[in-house]
Every structure is written in C-alpha cells, then in structure tokens.
Structure 1
C-alpha cells in the first residue's frame, strides 16, 4: 500500500494532519500527534482512554523514535536503529502505548504485540518450533517480559523468552530487524531472570525508555 500523504491519517470521516509535507520530508507537529493519539486510543481502547499530561515527556521520546527524528533522538540518547524496551510499573500504560504508537507511521512496517505468557503457553504445547517462529524475521513487540512462567515441554524446562531474545539479537546483528518489548522489571531484575548473557544482548537490541517508577496505575 502506498501513502501519498503519510502525514494525514483518516479515521472514519475525520482527517488528522500530523504535520506538513515539505518536498518528500514530513515536518511533524507533536501537539497534532497527541490529538491523533488521543482519538485513536479512544477507538482502540474505549472512550475512557486519554493522554495524561504527566506522560508527555515519554510520549515525546516515543514519537521522536517512531517518526525517526535522528537528530533529536541522538540528543536524547536514543538509537533509531535499535528497538525499544519500554519499562514502568504495572498499569502505567506501556502496552496501550506500544499498540498505539505504530499507527502514527502507517507507511512503516507494523509490528505485532504478543504477550510473553502466550508465547510460553505455545512452547508448552508445541515445543521448540515456537522459539523458531518468534526468532524469525517478522516484527514483534513482546509484552510483559519477565513475568512469564518457565516453559516446560516433554519433561524439559526452558527459559523461552531468553532463548527468543538471543535469536532476535542474532537477527538484529545480521539483518537489522528490530524487536520491541515492554516490562515491569528493572535492569537488575531482568538480569536475574535471564542471566548476564541475555542482558548483554538486550543492551545491543534495545533503547531503554522508562516511565517514572511513581507513575500511577491508570487501570484503577
């Protein structure tokens, strides 16, 4: 599908301009992106969805990353060639944002958001083919990394997501395929869960973008 005006997104009968097109370059407007995200969020998650003022800083970083603003991302220490590891406490909105952000760049190849626990359940059912499937060249965002159970198949346990992350790292090195993930855990907890080898690969795979640890639970 070709997008002659990728800076203008249509939802139903409403058009949302995210900026202006100058030549072949889009000049994005952060405030206009927020208007669209609020509207699209309500369509995806219901009328109670809203963009919170306290989340503007993290939204700004995510927007810069997804629109591939290399100059500003570099200033913020974000590598646009890596994936995202979006961290924060339970209920702060990580999953919703990762499901939402891809819609501001419909001209880019989308990723699929998959709960890590579902991947492990799949492993328990069909075994190591699951690791091959998610270590493939598709684009994924692994949701809730670190709280999934240990995999178990035919009497053998397996740190399923650890193995998949190793495969995704190899894919990133060889083919520059990005991987995204969300987690409630901090860096130390992730290392305890997956070990130093996987944690080292994660540093190469991901930009760490984090909510404040005091962010409120928006589900309440």
Structure 2
C-alpha cells in the first residue's frame, strides 16, 4: 500500500511528513526537500529554493495542504484561489507550477500566460472567453501585462471578462481561479475596473513577495 505521506519521483521516495492512520502531519523542511528536487526535474539543475522565498512558500504550502490553523493565522481561505504578486523575475510562475505537485490527489490546474489567451481571442473571438471562463481549473500567469484584445475591430478587456465569468462560477460551484501578477491592487483596478477588482477580493487570497526581492533571472 502506498504511503500517503510520501511522493515518488524518478524512483526516489520523498517523505512529506508522517501519516498517523487518519491524516498526514506535514513537515515543512521535508516538503522543501521534495519541492527542490521536483523543481530540478521541471526547470533544470540550476533550480533552487532561496532562503528569502521560504516565508512565501510556507504560506502557500499551508494553503495547498489546507492546514486550518495556519490558514487562519495567515488569514487565508482555502476555498478561494491564490493571487501571487511580486516583482519581475522573483519566481512566481515557477512556484505556481511547482506547488501543483505537492498534493497530487487534488484537482490540478493549467498555468496559462494571459498574453496567450489574448492572442487566442484576437484569432478566435469570444469563444476564447467562453473557453477560459468555464469550469476548468486555471492559473492565469502574468495577469495585467497582457495587451487589450481586438477581434474584427472591437476592443475587449479579455482577462477582465474571463474573471467576471469565473466569479459567477465561484459563487455557484466554488470554482477556484489562481493568478500571478507584477501589478499592485491599485494598478489592477485601473486596468480591469472597480467591478472586477471587487470580485477579485472575493475570489483570491493575496500572497505577495517582498518588493525588494532580487530578479532570479539575472
């Protein structure tokens, strides 16, 4: 019988904690060992978890494993999605791609660049909004820096419209939406409008990197 407190990658078993027969008692240092190993598989041997990232990662890990005590401490609602914000190059996208593997039994999500969604809209039109506004699980990457969509001469704030559609599903079915962004809450409001911004507050837990964190791509 498989041990529910461990994950096997490339033939190596990584313990994430201890299973007491009813629940997993997670161990954060062990989780970090697994995430760094998985990160090297996904992104290459240069990947590493930096000391400066561990506070953000600790919050996110407790969200993903739905640790009730820590979620309450960090004022996070496990029924909402994650909006991960931070400066360019801090590792937001990699972190959201990586954390999917921490709880493989949970429903996964696709990480999709917002600019790609807008390009699809420019080609296919409003069907794109229907496709991404449906009940599939997505993490919208680099939200807020995508161009305005244009189809047959008509402009459309594509991501804003998708968020409105997904908000209705969130109310009806608790559908989660995740996203990453380089922008502040005020900048997002300027871009998408007050109506979308108010719904985002209900849809997302905001988790933010320190603004002074270094660009890991340099």
**TM-score of the pair, normalised by structure 1:** 0.98
Match of 1:212 in 2: 210
- Return 5+ residue gaps in structure 1 as ranges: none
1:1-220 counterparts in 2 under 5 A? 4-220=2-218
Q: Distance in 1 between matches of 2:112 and 2:80?
A: 19
Query: 1:196-215 CA deviation, whole Å, 9 max, x = no partner?
Result: 00000000000000000001
**Shift, 1:4, TM fit:** 4.3
Helix, strand or coil for the counterpart of 1:9? strand
**TM-score of the pair, normalised by structure 2:** 0.98
**Shift, 1:8, TM fit:** 0.9
Q: Distance in 2 between matches of 1:169 and 1:213?
A: 28
Q: Distance in 2 between matches of 1:133 and 1:126?
A: 11
Helix, strand or coil for the counterpart of 2:101? helix
Q: Distance in 1 between matches of 2:67 and 2:30?
A: 16
Q: Distance in 2 between matches of 1:70 and 1:130?
A: 36
Helix, strand or coil for the counterpart of 2:100? helix
Helix, strand or coil for the counterpart of 1:214? coil
**Shift, 1:7, TM fit:** 1.9
- Return 5+ residue gaps in structure 2 as ranges: none
Structural RMSD (CA): 0.9
Query: 1:92-127 CA deviation, whole Å, 9 max, x = no partner?
Result: 000000000010101111100000000000000000
Question: Where does structure 1 differ by over 4 angstroms across 4 or more consecutive aligned residues?
Answer: none
Q: Distance in 2 between matches of 1:162 and 1:12?
A: 40
Helix, strand or coil for the counterpart of 1:106? coil
Query: 1:134-192 CA deviation, whole Å, 9 max, x = no partner?
Result: 01111000000000000000110000000000011101000001000000000000000
Query: 1:31-76 CA deviation, whole Å, 9 max, x = no partner?
Result: 0000000000000000110000011100000000000101211111
